[in-house]
Amino acid sequence: MSKRSQAVETIQRELIEFARRARGVSARSHPGLSLVAYTLLTHVERHEQTRAADLAEHYVLDKSTVSRQLAELADRGLLERVADPRNHRSRVLRVTAKGRRHLDVAREQAVGAMADRLTDWPDADLARFASYLERYNSA
């Protein structure tokens, strides 16, 4: 097997490995905001004018799943569904101030835990790792 396909296989395996552990770690570290909810909320925060259907497509989830997750987030006051005057079928999503606070706390914890694992990484490696991940995800 070529060096290249070995690298691809390693990337595949290690990413899956991470994904598999992330759920459990996240459930333990911030109970009360599931990984799904956290991710959806983060996405809405970062992307203006997101609608439920966009989330479903992006995260490969059924629209019913997204609908219920958003309903829960809205119930808890972390997110608003704003009627779009131009299109009465859909509603545009927006994180509330309360939601933003929750996200800040969760993010701080998550980033803190991650920073611990990365303490002995040189700055240059961190920057490159970050850019690789962005590049991979945006493909």
**Element (DSSP H or E) covering residue 100:** helix 97-117
Question: Which of the listed partners (its own copies, DNA, none) does 76 bind, with a CB threshold of 5 to 8 Å by partner kind?
Answer: none
Span of 8-16, 45-53, 95-103, 111-119 interacting with DNA by CB under 7 A:
45-53
Site string for its own copies, 6-35 (x = CB under 8 A): xxxxxxxxxxxxxxxxxxxxx-x------x
* Number of Cβ atoms within 10 Å of the Cβ of 68: 12
Is the CB of 46 or the CB of 135 nearer to DNA? 46
Can you tell me which of 5, 64, 75, 88 binds its own copies, judged by CB under 8 A? 5
Is the CB of 90 or the CB of 107 nearer to DNA? 90
The reply on whether position 123 binds its own copies by CB under 8 A is yes
Distance in angstroms (rounded) separating the CA atoms of residues 29 and 23 = 10
Helical H segments across 32-96, by residue range: 35-46, 52-58, 63-75
Q: How many residues does the chain have?
A: 139
The reply on whether position 129 binds its own copies by CB under 8 A is yes
Cβ–Cβ under 8 Å, residues 55 and 92: no
